[in-house]
């Protein structure tokens, strides 16, 4: 039987390079990044979880689950933990809240790959570059992650990944895949992609 997934948007982060503006609410071509993400992923997931420590900024999305980090200052791992804890499905598909051009075909391929394998986590790999914030995490990783964060030695996603069973989905580097994984970290990134 196929796994069931929650779609998760990590809408936190310090957003320093955007002058404190929450990146998920940056407008590109008339639409916020988060609304772009939701319109791309809503075909795949009945349950969508938005992880943010500023829930008041996402009041128009109350039809989704909005959750806050329990482990503060833990970066993306804190968000992944909050989503795993809240999800009512077998696994979560995590998306960074600053990826405006997600690709449905890549998402679908990743879900199919996860369903075929027994890994705890499935991460796309473009050449040698991994995308742990466009990844699927099995609900069973919650206990590992809770222990890892409680120990407080590291907040790095890569350090945590070395403790679980990770599979990679190799994806060719093309213009399409580069766009799908593009992060908008600063205003200059908007200019690079023509906005």
- State mean pLDDT over 80-95: 98
Question: Residue 195 has what pLDDT?
Answer: 54
Residue 194 has pLDDT above 70, yes or no: no
CA-to-CA distance for 44 and 94, rounded, in angstroms? 13
Q: Which helix (H) or strand (E) holds 34?
A: helix 33-41
CA-to-CA distance for 107 and 124, rounded, in angstroms? 10
Residue 14 has pLDDT above 70, yes or no: no
pTM of the predicted model over 0.85: yes
Question: Residue 19 has what pLDDT?
Answer: 66
Residue 105 has pLDDT above 70, yes or no: yes
Could you tell me what percent of the chain has a pLDDT over 90? 81
Angle between helices 104-116 and 33-41 (to 10 degrees): 50
Average pLDDT, the chain: 92
Lowest-pLDDT range, 111-115, 124-128, 185-189?
A: 185-189
CB 189 within 8 A of CB 182: yes
Residue 100 has pLDDT above 80, yes or no: yes
Question: Residue 187 has what pLDDT?
Answer: 73
Residue 18 has pLDDT above 70, yes or no: no
């Amino acid at each position: 039987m196929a796994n069931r997934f929650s779609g998760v948007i990590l809408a936190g982060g310090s957003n320093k390079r955007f002058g404190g503006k929450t990146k998920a609410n940056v407008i590109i071509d008339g639409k916020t990044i988060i609304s772009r993400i939701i319109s791309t992923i809503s075909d795949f997931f009945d349950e969508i979880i938005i992880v943010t420590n500023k829930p008041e900024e996402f009041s128009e999305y109350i039809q989704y689950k909005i959750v806050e980090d329990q482990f503060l200052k833990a970066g993306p791992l804190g968000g992944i933990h909050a989503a795993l804890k809240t999800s009512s499905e077998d696994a979560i598909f995590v998306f960074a809240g600053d990826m405006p051009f997600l690709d449905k075909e890549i998402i679908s391929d990743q879900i199919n790959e996860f369903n075929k394998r027994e890994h705890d986590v499935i991460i796309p790999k473009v050449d040698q570059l991994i995308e742990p914030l466009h990844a699927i995490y099995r609900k069973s990783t919650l206990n590992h992650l809770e222990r890892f964060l409680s120990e407080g030695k590291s907040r790095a996603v890569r350090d945590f990944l070395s403790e679980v069973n990770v599979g990679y989905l190799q994806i060719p580097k093309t213009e399409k895949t580069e766009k799908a994984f593009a992060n908008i970290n600063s205003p200059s990134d908007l200019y690079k992609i023509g906005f």
